[in-house]
Structure 1
Amino acid sequence: MLGQIDITRRQAEIADIVQRSGFASVEELAERFEVTAQTIRRDVNGLCELGILRRTHGGVEPPASAGNIHYSTRQILNLAQKKLIADLVAADVHDGQSLAFSIGTTPEIVMQALTGHEGLCVFTNNLNVAFTASANPSCQVTIAGGRLRPGDRDVVGRSAYDFFTHYKVDIGIFGVAGVDEEGTLLDFHEDEVSARQSILANCRKSFLVLDHSKFGRTAHVRGGHIRDVSCIYTDRPVPQHIQALLEGSETRVVAAQDTV
């Protein structure tokens, strides 16, 4: 499948640990997973070859990056949580509905959870979503034309914005780079925001999909407010200050931990 990375569950957990802490030694990782240092070296070497981590003296750290984390890294960070979110969304999507998908790894995983649905109409500027959806012969897929952004495999620019204005869909599904303390939705590029806002303006319901790490994460391009969306799907209950911002709004919160 386009965009899929072949790594083990342990490697995904290693990537999560290093991304959160900023550094991990081979020895502490070996102790944590109860395997040999040689096994951990094989794991981290594979992650380094993919550009997800980089070796440093005595261990590994996240790669140097200006701006957003590389797509291949985002695909595996918090993967278990993203799958929980995707299952929640899949339960609220019905056969035959029309869906607009934005870019990002969580929307991609949501589409993976929807592959068993019948008769979906998918509109997207995310090639990973498009290829996943096209594996289901009952799914009708329409993609945006325009400039393809390498790495992320999405179409951005004015053409992507205009693409979504041509349709009125049942559900718009999108993520964000971060949510600040005031509830402002943030991304790293103006093109990402414009496409997301176009989806929001042209859907009957809007689903914001994001794991807990996005709350308080900084990015520099503003694009709407968390109260603008119909429903928030996340792996944990939203922070208390965000819940307070949502009081009196029509925005619903669905958290995986609340449904267990």
Structure 2
Amino acid sequence: MAGESRRATIKSKLATDYRVSVSALAKQLGVTEETIRRDLEKLEAEGFLNRTYGGAILNTSNQKLNAPFYKRQTLLIEEKRRIARNVMPLLEDKSVIALDSSSTSLEVAKLLKDRDDLVILTNSVAIFGEFVDSRATIVSTGGQFDSGTFSLVGESARESLSKYCVDVMLFSCKGIDENGEVLDSREGESEVKRAMFKQAGSLVLLADHSKFNRSTFVRLTDLSEVDYLVTDQEPSDEWKRRCEEFGVSLIH
């Protein structure tokens, strides 16, 4: 595993467990303990962790690690899990799947990691961690680490996507306005999502009920480009009509 991906996995594990050991990481990642120590030194220099005897702990005093992603992960968690269960039938015959770095896609990943016939393409550091012990193939976009979204973004992430084609891409958003515009809040993350769109055979939007009739800053796409909209509860008759007008299959 390349250094960047290895350190991304370490970050994911620390963000989840708050503590790691050198020996366990070396065994898990298939490298020497000295390699892991050098990784931890680099991450300590970034302010991500504090090294301890035999390992490291997450540097929770670093305000940059306020972890908006992990805060979002706990919000509407049952709704996100319901969406993940609802989308599973769409994925039964798919072998190459792209997942964005949303907390809803993470819940989908948790239900897919036991499949050994999958290739997962993602820029999500959290999803890397979910697949550490999986027999599925996980492919990283590479790129610059964004601690706010726990994702890899930037030009190298976008450019790497041109090498791949996927059966389906699953993504979330911050809102869907009354005109059918699908919106997000971070430009860097949105650019990677749009690059993923171009490589996907079909697009599946994962949006809980709170996302409807909501406007935010960055335009991702519009509903006419989306094949399926998967949500957690039955939408209003007005939204059913809009989905039909845009040619979107609605699943709830």
What TM-score comes out, normalization by structure 1 length?
Answer: 0.68
Return the offset for 1:159.
1.9
Separation in 1 of the partners of 2:94 and 2:180? Answer: 33
Q: State whether structure 2 residue 89 is matched by structure 1 residue 107.
A: no
- Opposite residue 87 of structure 2, the aligned amino acid is V
Partner of 1:210: 207
Conserved in 1, the CA contact under 8 Å of 2:94 and 2:167?
no
Q: Distance in 2 between matches of 1:186 and 1:145?
A: 24
Are 1:186 and 1:221, in contact at CA under 8 Å, matched by a contact in 2?
yes
Query: Aligned letter for 2:247?
Result: E
TM-score (norm 2): 0.70
Distance 1:234 1:96, change over 3 A: closer
Amino acid at match of 1:240: D
**Aligned pair count?**
194
**2:241 matched to 1:244?**
yes
Q: Give the drift of 1:4.
A: 4.0
- Aligned: 1:192 with 2:189: yes
2:149 maps to what in 1?
Answer: 152
Give distance in 2, aligned partners of 1:157 and 1:240. Answer: 39
- 1:34-45 maps to which residues of 2 (within 5 A)? none
96 and 210 in structure 1: CA distance in 2 versus 1, 3 angstrom threshold: closer
Q: CA deviation at 1:193?
A: 1.7
Alignment of 1:1-260 (within 5 A): 2=13, 3-4=15-16, 70-94=68-92, 97-137=95-135, 139-255=136-252
| 1:11 corresponding residue in structure 2 | none
Q: Structure 1, residues 60-87: CA drift from partner, whole Å, max 9, x if none?
A: xxxxxxxxx9212210111011111111
> 8 Å contact 2:94–2:168 — kept in the other structure?
no
Q: Which ranges of structure 1 fall in alignment gaps of 5 or more residues?
A: 7-49, 52-68, 256-260
**Unpaired segments ≥5 residues, structure 2:** 1-11, 19-59, 62-66
Larger fraction in helix: 2
Q: Deviations over 1:71-121 (max 9, x none)?
A: 122101110111111112223212660011111100111101112222110
Query: Does the CA contact (< 8 Å) of 1:207 and 1:231 recur in 2?
Result: yes
* RMSD of aligned residue pairs (Cα, Å): 2.3
